[in-house]
Structure 1
Amino acid sequence: MKPLDVEAVQAFLMVAELKSFTRAAELMDSTQSAISLKIKRLEEGVGRRLLERTPRLVRLSAAGTAFLEPARQFVAAHEGAVASFGDKPRRLVVGISHHVVGSELPGMLRQLGRSASGLQIDMRVASSADLLDAFDRGLLDVAIVLRHDNRRLDGEVILEETFGWMAAPDFDWQRNAPLRLAAQAAPCSVRQMAVDALGEAGIAWTEVFVGGGLMTVGAAASAGLAVAALGQRVAPRDTVDVGTRLGLPPLPSRDVVLYATATDAQARSALRALRAALRATAA
């Protein structure tokens, strides 16, 4: 067996995590063909097929599954050896909107850690309005938020978030009673978007659950307590969009926008990881 090439192993890990050669290439600041070549040579070196590829799917083979954890340990050992000569870690303060990141946060942080191992990440989750204010005051290096209006058109659009009326599959609403709603506390812009849509449609509503973040609002929807306006990409997997069934008004989509002031190499690597991780959840 040939000695392992660390960049090829890193490419394998990225594709395994993101299930996409395109996203892995974006994360590693490379091209899809270059990533494919690295993995082909890695497979030739170990004498095993590590990834199964179809036009719509990339998944681990049995050999790839067995290789996954040793590959992680191999890359971690390499990064640890390199870091032993490093200076004090660069600190990067990142803010992400409640409504942008959901259950994929651990995977996103894992990818971020691998792509920017020399960084100290300070992660903050809050409302889009609060994050933009903190970014403008120089308290954040990076802000990833929802764009709710045309008052501010700068920043980089990462993806388009589609919203739905998310609830438990058996959630029911009697038309002679107000619609039970779960939302974050005012002045949350997604909450306002939801109540504006209900108001324009002439639908009475009552707020039965007020959460402190997407996870708590999503939990209320999963529990059948209420319906919640949530991004379909980040809504709990055991919820469904009941809007059509219940005759609720359609909700507008929103751009997810990235703002950044950091331009050094470490920060650029971290930003590539964030973009790729978020875009992968929309695939």
Structure 2
Amino acid sequence: MITLDVDAVKAFVTIADLQNFTRAAEALGTTQGAISVKLKRLEDQIGKKLIERTPRLVRLSAQGAVFLESARDFLAAHDRAITGLSSVRRRFTLGIATHVGGPEVPTVLARLSAHDPALTIEVRLNDSRDLLDAFERGEIDAAIIRREDDRRDGEVLAPEHFGWFATPDFVHRAGEPLRLAASSPSCGIRNITTRALDAAGIPWTEVFLGCGSFAVADAVAAGLAISVFSYRLAPPGTVEVSRRLGLPALPSSEIVLLSTLSDARSRAALRTLAAAFREHRPHHDSAPRKRTASMESTV
């Protein structure tokens, strides 16, 4: 009778989900070599090749695809058994900056919840600055924010690049102030925008002041104004217009994960969170200039 090793099965499922040994190692808080050994041990136990690996591709074998669902059930049963030993549920308060969270957020949170069934996740959405203040007051356990000012702590999750976005038919008349849509005065994006325009000597006026990034995106998509967005979160139907309108270059930033949690279970949850976030980030984030040129060719 074959006795499955929980850690080996977890390594297999994580590799299958992330399709990458390095990211799987990050999620499990171990090394690539260690999860390779665990996978090999599992394959030897059941006598099947589960993962096919080439220098450019990691994918399930035919036998791995068949085993995957059973492996998930095995891990779920194990987690339920462990959770049943304790009636104490844990609460995890996570702040996500509104200008950072995109369509990947539900998937990231689902991954975090599946990692620890005894974990109750409370999510707060706000500007990076407000979340940073709440984090420093101890009101939230962790925060995914855009790096503010010269603060250098936190785990870097991804770079963030910005552009000037408007509808293709947006018109800026010479001699008139540039029409801006912006969020609250405390928003870091608004500060980046106004500092860049002031430094370039370009007059501007706020014609739409929204209460959040979604409201600003709606105003820009409607053609009312121009605004700054990260390339991955630009509103549908808009294009990057910095070259056409002669607007200044914008500084890049970083998305970071802040946390003071130190217990093993919380740190494991944070590793899962970071790995899931990186997995769902677009791979072209690092080349906005090339994307800008291609997008402006349609204007």
Q: Which TM class, normalised by the smaller chain length?
A: 0.7 to 0.9
Give the structure 1 partner of residue 36 of structure 2.
Answer: 36
CA contact (8 A) 2:166 2:227 kept: no
Letter in 1 for 2:261: A
Deviations for 1:59-117, whole angstroms, at most 9, x for unmatched residues? Answer: 55666556555543332232122211123112222222222221111121122123333
Give the structure 1 partner of residue 163 of structure 2.
Answer: 165
Q: Distance in 1 between matches of 2:180 and 2:52?
A: 44
Q: Distance in 1 between matches of 2:135 and 2:70?
A: 39
CA contact (8 A) 1:165 1:227 kept: no
Q: Radius of gyration: which is bigger?
A: 2
Give the structure 2 partner of residue 156 of structure 1.
Answer: 154
Give the structure 2 partner of residue 231 of structure 1.
Answer: 230
User: Tell me, what secondary structure is at the counterpart of 1:145?
Assistant: strand
Give the structure 2 partner of residue 253 of structure 1.
Answer: 252
Q: Distance in 1 between matches of 2:137 and 2:250?
A: 32
Give the structure 2 partner of residue 21 of structure 1.
Answer: 21
CA contact (8 A) 2:177 2:205 kept: yes
Q: Distance in 1 between matches of 2:62 and 2:245?
A: 44
Q: Distance in 2 between matches of 1:54 and 1:236?
A: 36
Moved more, 45-54 or 125-134: 45-54
Q: Distance in 2 between matches of 1:213 and 1:46?
A: 54
Using the TM superposition, give the Cα deviation of residue 25 of structure 1 relative to its aligned residue in structure 2, in angstroms: 0.6
Deviations for 1:227-268, whole angstroms, at most 9, x for unmatched residues? Answer: 432233454687654434543211112233333222111111
TM-score, with length taken from structure 2: 0.76
TM-score, with length taken from structure 1: 0.80
Question: Are 1:114 and 2:114 an aligned pair?
Answer: yes
User: Tell me, what secondary structure is at the counterpart of 1:276?
Assistant: helix
Question: Are 1:127 and 2:136 an aligned pair?
Answer: no
CA gap of 1:164–1:81, structure 2 versus 1, over 3 A, is same
Using the TM superposition, give the Cα deviation of residue 28 of structure 1 relative to its aligned residue in structure 2, in angstroms: 0.4
CA contact (8 A) 1:157 1:255 kept: no
CA gap of 1:78–1:227, structure 2 versus 1, over 3 A, is farther
Any stretches of 5+ residues in structure 1 without a counterpart? none
CA gap of 1:27–1:240, structure 2 versus 1, over 3 A, is farther
Letter in 2 for 1:128: S
Moved more, 244-253 or 127-136: 244-253
CA contact (8 A) 2:178 2:203 kept: yes
Question: Are 1:92 and 2:92 an aligned pair?
Answer: yes
Give the structure 2 partner of residue 267 of structure 1.
Answer: 266
CA contact (8 A) 2:19 2:58 kept: yes
Letter in 2 for 1:118: A
* Identity, % of aligned positions: 46
User: Tell me, what secondary structure is at the counterpart of 1:101?
Assistant: coil
Alignment of 1:44-123 (within 5 A): 45=46, 47-51=48-52, 53-55=54-56, 57-60=57-60, 68-123=68-123
**Corresponding pairs, count:** 280
Give the structure 2 partner of residue 142 of structure 1.
Answer: 142
Q: Distance in 1 between matches of 2:168 and 2:62?
A: 38
CA gap of 1:253–1:9, structure 2 versus 1, over 3 A, is same
Any stretches of 5+ residues in structure 2 without a counterpart? 284-299
